[in-house]
Amino acid sequence: MDPAVTIETLKKDLAEVKAAVEKKPFEAVSAEAQQQSNLLNNITLAIAITGRSGAGKSSFVNALRGMKDRGEGAAKTGVTETTMVPQEYSHPAFPNFKIWDLPGIGTNNFSAKEYLTKVNFNDYDFFIIVSSGRFTEDDTNLALEIQKNKKKFYYVRSKVDIDIDNDRRSKGIDVGDTDEMMQSEKETLDAVRKDSYEKLKALGESSPRVFLISRWDLSKYDFPLLQETIEQEQDEIKRDVLIMCLPILTKDSIKKKKAAMESLIWKKAIASCTVGLIPLPLLSLGCDIGILVTTMSHICKVFGLDENSLNILANRVGKPVEELKSVIEHTPSTGKITTEFAMDILKRSAMWGAITMVEAVLDFIPVLGSLYGGGSSFATTFYMLKNFLENAVKDAEKVQAKAAEPKRQK
Ligand SMILES: Nc1nc2c(ncn2[C@@H]2O[C@H](COP(=O)(O)OP(=O)(O)O)[C@@H](O)[C@H]2O)c(=O)[nH]1
Ligand SMILES: [Mg+2]
């Protein structure tokens, strides 16, 4: 693993730590850091996808998990719902992140209240109400009931790709004519937006928000805005969980994931100051290897660089997984991130004097420097994770670029 962290970036990063550490007694900061960094591993987040039958709920569940509809473990699409049992789908890399495919609303005679009781509404953090055409009373009654129960919901208008395509055809625009296509697409989206808004208003919603999406490409239309909106409306910890777990759709997702991981890293580094330090032979420093190994694996998954995520991405874009892996330069697969691996890069980092450099910068945070052994553990953990993160970001960008390349001609 090459060093990716310079003294300038370190100083910038440590400014955040300094601000936090100086505000409160170190014990309080440390307890909080430990609690938050553990919470992030243990927290569960459950999203409920609801709407009428055929609206595109199951397809949306698959899209959120970065999966095709026919893949192993995918939610079945295009089937009529016959049960009242919510189906649970875990995120492929983070089992605590759950997406629930709820039974169709309006297919039986349940009231919104009865429906919510049947699907155990209390188990979910928030609801997404999907509709593929006009919103109806079924949708708004449900929304009202969700609101009464003090939970949040988001209206999603699915299948806009079909609307766009239909309009283009009826206007007689050629697929090759990019300018006209873009203009027509904008007109369609405006019309669908206006129509959904007005319909919901007529049904009694005072200022409805509707997000237009296509299951086939979540990087388009309003999905990025939906994601942003949901994130803003969660508490800090759930927001970080969402940012870490949602698929990488744009350069912006990588940036947000990076920021979330940076804030996790310094908490892990602070937490490592207080656990029993394990002196490492050959090294004049102590550090908690367990924290290093688990956090590195976590980073690997957050950026979709683990075996499972890579296979899913390869499947989705129709490329051999080896082609995607060929551009990964620094990050080992999760199975290879072991104590031995961490020890090995620790030794090399010590040889480069990299950790000495961080310790020097630590003078900047007197309270850490004064802890017996703690400063050294902080420096080691911080440096190692930060370096791993910078490299994972580079690899993730390359994998995304590779996935987006046009397929090779056979
Ligand atoms: N073109 C297009 N088709 C979609 C989209 N979402 C769902 N579908 C199709 O709509 C049909 C019903 O979707 P499904 O997810 O099974 O709906 P559910 O009954 O609400 O779970 C399936 O044939 C899907 O392939 C979308 O965004 N675009
Ligand atoms: Mg379904």
- The pLDDT tens digits of the residues spanning 158-192 come to 999 999 999 999 999 988 888 999 999 999 999 99
Instruction: Select from 235, 254, 287 the last residue of a domain.
Output: 235
Does residue 102 have a pLDDT over 90?
Answer: yes
Q: How much is the average pLDDT of 209-235?
A: 93
What pLDDT, on a 0 to 100 scale, did the predictor assign at position 281? 46
Looking at the fold, whether 76 and 165 belong to one and the same domain comes out as yes
| Whole-angstrom distance, CA of residue 40 vs CA of residue 377 | 21
Does residue 306 have a pLDDT over 80?
Answer: yes
pLDDT-based confidence at 368, cuts 50/70/90?
low
What pLDDT, on a 0 to 100 scale, did the predictor assign at position 276? 46
Q: Which ligand is nearest to the CA of 107?
A: 1
Looking at the fold, whether 295 and 372 belong to one and the same domain comes out as yes
Instruction: Select from 235, 255, 285 the last residue of a domain.
Output: 235
410 in any annotated domain: no
What pLDDT, on a 0 to 100 scale, did the predictor assign at position 240? 87
Looking at the fold, whether 167 and 187 belong to one and the same domain comes out as yes
Which residues lie with the beta carbon below 6 Å from any ligand 1 atom?
51, 53-59, 77-78, 81, 104, 158-159, 161-162, 214-216
148 in any annotated domain: yes
Looking at the fold, whether 274 and 384 belong to one and the same domain comes out as yes
Which residue bears the tokens 């009428």?
52
- Domain hosting 195: range is 44-235
Q: How much is the average pLDDT of 134-153?
A: 94
pLDDT tens-place string over residues 333-360: 888 999 899 888 888 877 777 777 777 7
Q: How much is the average pLDDT of 243-253?
A: 85
Looking at the fold, whether 207 and 277 belong to one and the same domain comes out as no
pLDDT tens-place string over residues 66-91: 888 987 889 999 988 777 899 999 98
Would you say 355 and 289 are in contact if contact means Cβ atoms under 8 Å apart? no
What pLDDT, on a 0 to 100 scale, did the predictor assign at position 408? 67
pLDDT tens-place string over residues 117-143: 999 999 999 999 999 999 999 999 999
* HSE of 307, CA atoms in CB hemisphere, 13 A: 5
408 in any annotated domain: no
Strands in 210-212's sheet, in edge-to-edge order, are 87-90, 97-101, 45-51, 126-131, 152-157, 210-212
Specify the ligand 1 atom closest to the Cα of 76. Answer: 16
398 alpha carbon to ligand 1 midpoint, in Å? 31
**Which residues are within 8 A (CB) of 328 and not within 5 positions of it... i.e. 6 or more apart?**
305, 395, 398, 399
Looking at the fold, whether 251 and 332 belong to one and the same domain comes out as yes
SS3 263: helix
Q: How many distinct structural domains can be found in the chain?
A: 2
Q: Say if residue 362 is exposed, middle or buried (CB neighbours under 10 Å; 0-12, 13-18, 19+).
A: buried
Whose CA is closest to atom 10 on ligand 1? 56
Q: How much is the average pLDDT of 305-331?
A: 93
Specify the ligand 1 atom closest to the Cα of 52. Answer: 20
Alpha carbon 261 to its chain's center: 11
What pLDDT, on a 0 to 100 scale, did the predictor assign at position 53? 92
Looking at the fold, whether 218 and 304 belong to one and the same domain comes out as no
409 in any annotated domain: no
222 in any annotated domain: yes
Looking at the fold, whether 24 and 66 belong to one and the same domain comes out as no
Whose CA is closest to atom 4 on ligand 1? 159
2 in any annotated domain: no
Looking at the fold, whether 95 and 160 belong to one and the same domain comes out as yes
Instruction: Select from 235, 253, 271 the last residue of a domain.
Output: 235
| Whole-angstrom distance, CA of residue 8 vs CA of residue 5 | 8
The residue type found at 275 is: V
Return phi, psi of residue 294, to 5°.
-70, -40
What pLDDT, on a 0 to 100 scale, did the predictor assign at position 382? 87
Does residue 283 have a pLDDT over 60?
Answer: no
58 or 346, greater pLDDT: 58
1 in any annotated domain: no
84 alpha carbon to ligand 2 midpoint, in Å? 11
pLDDT-based confidence at 409, cuts 50/70/90?
low
The two most distant CA atoms of the chain are separated, in Å, by 75
What pLDDT, on a 0 to 100 scale, did the predictor assign at position 129? 98
Residue 217: give its domain's CATH number.
3.40.50.300
| Whole-angstrom distance, CA of residue 330 vs CA of residue 295 | 16
Does residue 151 have a pLDDT over 50?
Answer: yes
Return phi, psi of residue 52, to 5°.
-75, 165
What pLDDT, on a 0 to 100 scale, did the predictor assign at position 143? 95
Looking at the fold, whether 282 and 215 belong to one and the same domain comes out as no
Does residue 284 have a pLDDT over 50?
Answer: no
Would you say 274 and 374 are in contact if contact means Cβ atoms under 8 Å apart? yes
Specify the ligand 1 atom closest to the Cα of 55. Answer: 20
Looking at the fold, whether 205 and 245 belong to one and the same domain comes out as no
Looking at the fold, whether 54 and 194 belong to one and the same domain comes out as yes
Surrounding residues of ion ligand 2, Cβ less than 5 A: 58
The share of the chain scoring above pLDDT 70, in percent, equals: 91
